[in-house]
Chains A and B, each alone.
Chain A
Amino acid sequence: MTITGRVPLLVLLGLVPVVLRPQASTVWMWAGLVTLAVLLDWWSAPSPTALAVTRTPTSPVRLGEPTSTTLLVRNTSRRRVDGLARDAWQPTAGATENRHRLRLRGDDRVLLTTPLLPSRRGDLHTLGLTVRLRGPLGLACRQQSLEVPGTLRSLPAFDSRKHLPARLARLRELDGRSAVRVRGQGTEFDSLRDYVRGDDVRSIDWRASARSRNVVVRTWQPERDRRVVLVVDTSRTSAGRVGDVPRLDSAMDAAQLLAALSARAGDRVDLVAGDRRVRVRLRTTGSRTPTEVAEALADLDPEIVEADWRGLAAAVTQLGRRRALVVLLTPLEPSAVEEGLLPVLPVLTRHHRVVVASVKDPTLGELAATRGTAEEVYTAAAAEQVSARRERTAQLLRRLGVDVLDEDSERLPAVLADHYLVLKATGRL
């Protein structure tokens, strides 16, 4: 039961009889009268259970992009219904204008649309629909929260999308080139065409030229139908916040750019994500790849557990034994890498090309450079030591034949994409 703003006003009106008959009993009689009116009104208010509510599903949306959710409210009773409804969502769903006036005649229906603006990645949930229906006098209301389940999937931010056009242009350049500069095992023969000045003389096909009137060169196209396996580490080391963004989110950004790029390049993208257990194992296909990767990553949060690299490596192996580019998106945390990742790396490097992409913390460099007070100098020493250990771990990985990319969160996606293009151009995928 809830009372409305009319009740205090009505009580205040009691001043009139009190002035006319200034006695304590007048006050109590008036209070009793108002209470009676409120109870009567509450008793005669329609019940919120008379409303049948259904929610139309909302399709996934990028973090920070506006969308809306729609409820269909039907009045199943024959009575008029007047009141308020609040469609509650968790705060990061951004449901700001979620209060709706309800005015329905018997058997009438209405659509309530609440605008949403997700400010966090992941599955955002509703917290129920609260309905408050007034009695005929407007003094009291019946209030009840109805369960109307609903979810908004907010896809991870893809800020590095801006790097995609430039990388795609590079990809097209690769595609049309007469010959890849390095003639490795991976470049594939495409066709023969006439020699044009500027072509690499080494790509002239003498046997074909002998049969033709002109000099003919072989053209090559970059290898297609390769495999790219993205491994996203969601363990404790990914929970670290660099600036305002967790390392995991920066890693997702990089993963999405690489997925979009390699899908356009005609490669197959697989995704593995996990910590102590494998949380995502995904095979994508063709043009839907970027969306599928984004949706699979959307609801992942870092867990405060150590990564089980043995399990993750097994998941990578299960996705196929064919040679692939395995991108490990994990922070270069010396102890975690040395104890967890190093023992299982040989299994991966034997069959695949492995890249470790790590989000570097620029604060570390700043701390090392600040040397004003004793405290700062000690911290600088600690920062130097941490950096040195990171560097040593990176060297260790490189010695195992792993490419290590340790970059700031803004630069990592672009650097990873460029590295992929270099590998592709040189036929080392």
Chain B
Amino acid sequence: MSSGLRVRVRRHRTALILTAFVLAVVAISVVAGQRPGNTVPLDPENAGPDGARALARVLERHDVDVTVARGAAALESQSVTEGTTVVVTSTEQLGESTLSRLRDHASAGDVVLVDPPGWLTTSLTTPPTRVRIPQHVSGACADPEFSDLAIRTEEALAFDGPGCFGHTEGSLLVSPAAGLTLWGAGQALSNEQVVRADNAAVALRLVGGGSALVWYVPDARDLTAGDALPLSETLPDWILPGLWVLALSGLALVGWRIRRLGALAVEPIPVVVKAVETTLARGRLYQRAGDRGHAAVALRTASLHRLARRLRTGSHDPEDVVAAVVALTGRESGDVGRLLSPHSAAPPRTDRELIHLAGQLATLEEEVRHA
């Protein structure tokens, strides 16, 4: 029983090893890819390094009334009055329709868009540039709230035009319209980075300025058909790396088939020439030279010899052969003589005459054969 099992294990050893390998990899990636709770970046309930729960908690402790509104319906059920700030994270889930709904609803308060994607703000400002932040970026602007602060983060979006936290490519904080603020350094609000430099102070002043805070997390399901979302936003995240995997697989396919099982089998070929080649070449030579005289002599001599052999004249003398042909066919001897004698008759002047001569010779031989 156990030996039978061992044999079966041995027979399918490769398959078993492969299966175990695949299972292990899947398990590892599942475990590594899964984290408990919320994993949306800058979500007020995400406690991971890229979440923003710390900020939400701190605001609550400072007596700011923080309300989390998930989706457009939840947002519209909240009243937005003067002194209320609406902060929007996950802005890539916004569309033109949800943005205008948001601005209509929150017209009384202030709206802060965190890391708005370029296609969302085309009507307000030129698309932002992604910039790397080497060290600190100090406020350095007219707004006294931020003028003396400096933030520190790795990457941010820089908007064109005047604003705070100026960078070579633009400013990280701009206000393109009344009651609307665009904030390009969303990472600075994350749990991981909020304690760096003056990040915390900037965050509190940015969103905690009013008495109430509505933390709006938009939902892509609220979008209408008219919202033109770029393709990259609608496709699942794994498409691009998946394509890479496919490409690598294709490469491996090439690698599999590229090597032959040994060298090509070669055949030593001996020299072989077509035997009539020289004859054909000689024919072409006659034609190119227009040597009708030579060709006519060759044709006449050949016919003469054949007829002599067939009629058993005993000699190749044209007169004897002509006489024999005349005796057999009853043709006129002058005609036959002109046709057959190789040297006395005039050579044909044109190719047409040569063809005619060749045809006549063939007809004559045919006649003799059937006579």
Question: Which single member of B14, B241, B267, B354 contacts A91 (CB below 8 Å)?
Answer: B267
B349 within 8 A of A: no
Given contacts A14-B248, A18-B242, A84-B261, contact A242 B275 (CB under 8 A): yes
Task: Tell whether, in the assembled complex, residue B301 and residue A384 are in contact, meaning their CB atoms are under 8 Å apart.
Answer: yes
Provide the main secondary structure of the chain A interface.
helix
Instruction: Give Cα A175–Cα B212 distance, bound, in whole angstroms.
Output: 134
Interface residues contributed by chain A, number (CB under 8 Å): 82
Question: Which single member of A90, A132, A137, A242 contacts B17 (CB below 8 Å)?
Answer: A137
* 1/0 contact string of B28-68 vs chain A (CB within 8 Å): 11101100000000000000000000000000000000000
A6, closest chain B residue (CB): B18
State how many angstroms separate the Cβ of A197 from the closest Cβ of chain B. Answer: 39
* 1/0 contact string of A16-28 vs chain B (CB within 8 Å): 1111111110110
B327 within 8 A of A: no
Question: Which single member of A31, A331, A374 contacts B248 (CB below 8 Å)?
Answer: A31
Instruction: Give Cα A302–Cα B269 distance, bound, in whole angstroms.
Output: 11
A371 within 8 A of B: yes
Given contacts A136-B14, A371-B358, A377-B354, contact A18 B273 (CB under 8 A): no
Instruction: Give Cα A3–Cα B273 distance, bound, in whole angstroms.
Output: 45
- CB-CB under 8 A from A136, the residues of chain B are 14
Question: Which single member of A23, A86, A381 contacts B295 (CB below 8 Å)?
Answer: A381
Instruction: Give Cα A385–Cα B286 distance, bound, in whole angstroms.
Output: 12
A60 within 8 A of B: no
Given contacts A377-B295, A377-B354, contact A371 B362 (CB under 8 A): yes
Interface residues contributed by chain B, number (CB under 8 Å): 67
B14, closest chain A residue (CB): A138
Given contacts A30-B245, A302-B270, A374-B351, contact A8 B256 (CB under 8 A): yes
Instruction: Give Cα A180–Cα B362 distance, bound, in whole angstroms.
Output: 45
Task: Tell whether, in the assembled complex, residue A246 and residue B272 are in contact, meaning their CB atoms are under 8 Å apart.
Answer: yes
Interfacial residues of chain A within 242-300, with CB under 8 A of chain B in the complex: 242, 246-247
State how many angstroms separate the Cβ of B368 from the closest Cβ of chain A. Answer: 15
Task: Tell whether, in the assembled complex, residue B263 and residue A18 are in contact, meaning their CB atoms are under 8 Å apart.
Answer: no
Interfacial residues of chain A within 223-241, with CB under 8 A of chain B in the complex: 239-241
Instruction: Give Cα A345–Cα B273 distance, bound, in whole angstroms.
Output: 27
B144 within 8 A of A: no
Given contacts A239-B273, A381-B298, A388-B302, contact A15 B242 (CB under 8 A): yes
Given contacts A27-B241, A386-B279, contact A90 B248 (CB under 8 A): no
Given contacts A7-B252, A31-B248, contact A382 B279 (CB under 8 A): yes
State how many angstroms separate the Cβ of B292 from the closest Cβ of chain A. Answer: 9
Question: Which single member of B30, B245, B301 contacts A27 (CB below 8 Å)?
Answer: B245
Task: Tell whether, in the assembled complex, residue A388 and residue B25 are in contact, meaning their CB atoms are under 8 Å apart.
Answer: no
A373 within 8 A of B: yes
Task: Tell whether, in the assembled complex, residue B245 and residue A385 are in contact, meaning their CB atoms are under 8 Å apart.
Answer: no
A111 within 8 A of B: no
Task: Tell whether, in the assembled complex, residue B244 and residue A128 are in contact, meaning their CB atoms are under 8 Å apart.
Answer: no
A19, closest chain B residue (CB): B238
State how many angstroms separate the Cβ of B360 from the closest Cβ of chain A. Answer: 10
Instruction: Give Cα A301–Cα B285 distance, bound, in whole angstroms.
Output: 31
Task: Tell whether, in the assembled complex, residue A18 and residue B265 are in contact, meaning their CB atoms are under 8 Å apart.
Answer: no
State how many angstroms separate the Cβ of A73 from the closest Cβ of chain B. Answer: 15
B124 within 8 A of A: no
Question: Which single member of A17, A88, A381 contacts B283 (CB below 8 Å)?
Answer: A381
Task: Tell whether, in the assembled complex, residue B245 and residue A3 are in contact, meaning their CB atoms are under 8 Å apart.
Answer: no
Segment with Cβ contacts to B, from A153-161, A213-221, A361-369 = A361-369
A143 within 8 A of B: yes
B268 within 8 A of A: yes
B282 within 8 A of A: yes
- CB-CB under 8 A from B346, the residues of chain A are none
State how many angstroms separate the Cβ of A358 from the closest Cβ of chain B. Answer: 11
Task: Tell whether, in the assembled complex, residue A143 and residue B261 are in contact, meaning their CB atoms are under 8 Å apart.
Answer: yes
Task: Tell whether, in the assembled complex, residue A378 and residue B283 are in contact, meaning their CB atoms are under 8 Å apart.
Answer: yes
B314 within 8 A of A: no
Question: Which single member of A24, A88, A379 contacts B241 (CB below 8 Å)?
Answer: A24
Given contacts A86-B261, A374-B355, contact A240 B267 (CB under 8 A): no
- CB-CB under 8 A from A5, the residues of chain B are 256
Task: Tell whether, in the assembled complex, residue B276 and residue A367 are in contact, meaning their CB atoms are under 8 Å apart.
Answer: yes
Instruction: Give Cα A377–Cα B275 distance, bound, in whole angstroms.
Output: 19
Instruction: Give Cα A247–Cα B271 distance, bound, in whole angstroms.
Output: 12
- CB-CB under 8 A from B14, the residues of chain A are 136-138
* 1/0 contact string of A136-165 vs chain B (CB within 8 Å): 111000010100000000000000000000
B262 within 8 A of A: yes
Task: Tell whether, in the assembled complex, residue A14 and residue B245 are in contact, meaning their CB atoms are under 8 Å apart.
Answer: yes
B22 within 8 A of A: yes
- CB-CB under 8 A from B287, the residues of chain A are 374-375, 378
A33 within 8 A of B: yes
A82, closest chain B residue (CB): B14
Instruction: Give Cα A34–Cα B355 distance, bound, in whole angstroms.
Output: 78
A13 within 8 A of B: yes
Question: Which single member of B17, B25, B262, B286 contacts A130 (CB below 8 Å)?
Answer: B262
State how many angstroms separate the Cβ of A386 from the closest Cβ of chain B. Answer: 5
B12 within 8 A of A: no
Given contacts A90-B268, A304-B271, A361-B275, contact A21 B18 (CB under 8 A): no
- CB-CB under 8 A from A383, the residues of chain B are 276, 279, 283
- CB-CB under 8 A from B240, the residues of chain A are 22, 24
A249, closest chain B residue (CB): B272
Instruction: Give Cα A378–Cα B283 distance, bound, in whole angstroms.
Output: 5
Interfacial residues of chain B within 158-208, with CB under 8 A of chain A in the complex: none
B280 within 8 A of A: yes
Instruction: Give Cα A384–Cα B296 distance, bound, in whole angstroms.
Output: 11
B236 within 8 A of A: yes
* A–B complex contacts, Cβ < 8 Å, 27 sampled: A2-B259, A6-B18, A8-B249, A12-B246, A13-B22, A15-B245, A17-B25, A18-B244, A23-B241, A30-B25, A30-B245, A90-B266, A130-B261, A136-B14, A137-B18, A241-B272, A361-B275, A363-B275, A364-B279, A371-B358, A371-B362, A381-B294, A381-B295, A381-B299, A381-B358, A382-B280, A382-B295
Closest 4 CB pairs of A and B: A130-B262, A379-B283, A240-B275, A22-B238
A residues within 8 Å of B by Cβ? 2-24, 26-27, 30-31, 33-34, 37, 84, 86, 88-92, 99, 127-128, 130, 132, 136-138, 143, 145, 239-242, 246-247, 301-304, 331, 361, 363-364, 367-369, 371-375, 377-388, 391
**Additional A-B contact list (9), CB under 8 Å, known A33-B25, A375-B283:** A2-B259, A12-B249, A27-B241, A88-B265, A127-B263, A145-B263, A239-B270, A377-B299, A378-B354
